Amino acid sequence: TPLYSSAASDVYKRQDSFNDDPHVALRIAEPDGAIREVEGFLREPMAAHDRGDREDFRATAALRVACRYRPRMPGVHQLTLSARWRDGRTAEVRLPDVVAAGFAATGIVRVDPGDSRFFSIDGRFWWPVGLNLHNTYDIRSRDVNATRLTPARGSLTYAAIIDRLAAAGGDATEVWMSSWNLGLAWRGDWPGFQGLHGLNLANGERLDAVLDHALLRGVRVNLVLNNHGQASPKADREWKDNPLNAMNGGPCSDPADVFTSPAALDFQDRVRRYIVARYADHPAVWGWKLWSEVDLTAGKGEPLVRWHEQAAKRWRQLDPSGRAVTTHWAGDYRRVDPAIAALPDLGYLCLDAYRRARAEQDPIPLVDILAGSLHDPTRGLLRFAKPVIVTEFGASSGESPADFRAVDHLIGGWTGLVSGHAAAPMLWWWEWVDQGGRWAPYGAVRRFIAGEDMRGSDASSVALVSESPDQRLWCRAWIRPGRALGYVLASGWGARGGEPPLVAGATIRIADVVEAGRLDIQWWDADQGVMLSVSEVAHPGGAFVLQPPAFRGHLVWKVLRH
């Protein structure tokens, strides 16, 4: 069964899918007097059919131009729909009023206006915990981790995995709009795509389904707009199939031209306008990620900086929601380009935290890379005062010992938390997690941070001195007045994994001078995210040293001032 009706192909001959002719817009007069306008987008309504081995989308109605709009405050909203044709004709119609009840809210994730290191949703602190669901299957995971290849069932696969992620305690993920997944623009001789002349409307419907289901489960999506292979001559090479390639009728003779060619930039802006029109008002979208691992593309130096400058600025102009824009670097924080990271319209920073761990080497501990991402005195990203999130991490991006990957999965969320990351690091290997039933770390972190708020100009990550008779320990805490969230780890186990050692007789020195008062001390199981004990102490003032109970491998704790 074809994915497209014959009507769709006829319309594409006389009208592309960029809403240029006619240009349609919806104007909303909101109850407070503000005027908001959203652009329309071409849509072909489709229904999903589950074949078992794949998901087919079949047209259910004729092409139409749609506008997506959600009231953000209670009261009467007055709607006016307008259209403008290239030949100068215009039309306008007043639609029935929309009356909304309830309380004012957008549901949109934003960089927090009071503490730009973190995110918030309508003023509420949000510290995401999630897993990278980049694509619906991963050949590399099969080759590296011996996982089974998941059938490519599109939004149906995403729905199943998002259900399990949410049930485990996760509320965030990352999804790629790649040519084999949810991409809208690619070479025209691939099924569903229209080259430079239109967009894959079936994938538009599919992405709607993914976002709708994510929102239903309380999960936000970091949406990746371009993956590095699309403009790379070396890494995951897809340049040969890019519609911008001159060999496919495009304007670019070299992949680096993607970042400089006026025709390429114009095409990117048309796609950008469509994505904003269709998805900007969807609260499941966490943020716009311009590239995955942009340092692996052919873009380099000043041209790449200028591309990010204009692209991020343009996203900010088009998207009225205030949602942030980002880009992403491979390897670890030392590959981040400071000139791009400092751009004012780039709202947050995404990076990898791979440690290239091999059994025969003395591995760099993951805790050093995650903490260093912010606090390295020469390359740390704290200086940019932006949210920093790791969307790929753990042992290696390729083969590594199973114990290394397992321990990194267990300790990553805790390390990111106490180091001041804006989200728990996201593991790339979702099939390894799902097929192995390795969901426990997500619920553990979620239960620990429930009700916590890390924001504040006087809040920071502090490296603490922790000692035990038999083990070398690593310890950090996120401390703000009256509250500390801490994590202590047996360093050797954190580097190589295996059987977690028993740590007894440890001490954690919080500070040499702590004000007198009553304090509650909570000890939490780091594997399960359950409180082990709580005790109240009357601190007389001066040095404050904690004495943890015996634990295996790692332990989390809270100190709360009455």
pLDDT in tens, 173-198: 999 999 999 999 999 999 999 999 99
pLDDT band (50, 70, 90) for residue 397:
confident
pLDDT band (50, 70, 90) for residue 396:
confident
Residue 7 has pLDDT above 60, yes or no: no
Least trusted range by pLDDT, from 40-54, 80-94, 247-261, 527-541: 40-54
Residue 52 is predicted with a pLDDT of: 85
Residue 10 is predicted with a pLDDT of: 39
> How many whole angstroms separate alpha carbon 182 and alpha carbon 196?
17
| Those residues with Cβ within 8 angstroms of residue 33's Cβ, 6 or more apart along the chain or in another chain | none
**Predicted TM-score (pTM) above 0.75:** yes
User: How confident is the model over 406-424, as a mean pLDDT?
Assistant: 98
Q: What's the distance, CA 234 to chain centroid?
A: 25
User: How confident is the model over 511-529, as a mean pLDDT?
Assistant: 95
> How many whole angstroms separate alpha carbon 264 and alpha carbon 239?
14
Kindly state the helix (H) or strand (E) to which residue 374 belongs, with its residue range: helix 366-375
- In 485-561, which residue ranges form alpha helices assigned H by DSSP? 491-496
> How many whole angstroms separate alpha carbon 469 and alpha carbon 451?
35
C-beta separation of 149 from 139 below 8 A: yes
Give residue 183's identity as a one-letter amino acid code.
G
Residue 5 is predicted with a pLDDT of: 30
> How many whole angstroms separate alpha carbon 233 and alpha carbon 75?
54
Q: Is 279 helix (H, G, I), strand (E, B) or coil?
A: helix
Query: What are the Cα distances from residue 279, in Å, to 43, 174, 175, 273, 428?
Result: 12, 15, 14, 10, 25
Beta-strand runs (E) in 368-409? 388-393
pLDDT band (50, 70, 90) for residue 51:
confident
Kindly state the helix (H) or strand (E) to which residue 70 belongs, with its residue range: none
C-beta separation of 106 from 321 below 8 A: yes
Residue 11 is predicted with a pLDDT of: 39
C-beta separation of 355 from 365 below 8 A: yes
Residue 429 has pLDDT above 90, yes or no: yes
- DSSP assignment, residue 477? E
- In 32-175, which residue ranges form alpha helices assigned H by DSSP? 139-145, 154-168
Beta strand 460-463 pairing with 35-39: unpaired
Residue 1 has pLDDT above 50, yes or no: no
> How many whole angstroms separate alpha carbon 522 and alpha carbon 529?
12
> How many whole angstroms separate alpha carbon 155 and alpha carbon 209?
6
User: How confident is the model over 365-383, as a mean pLDDT?
Assistant: 97
Least trusted range by pLDDT, from 185-189, 232-236, 316-320, 403-407: 232-236
The residue with greater pLDDT, 347 or 56, is 347
C-beta separation of 386 from 117 below 8 A: yes
Beta strand 517-525 pairing with 124-126: unpaired
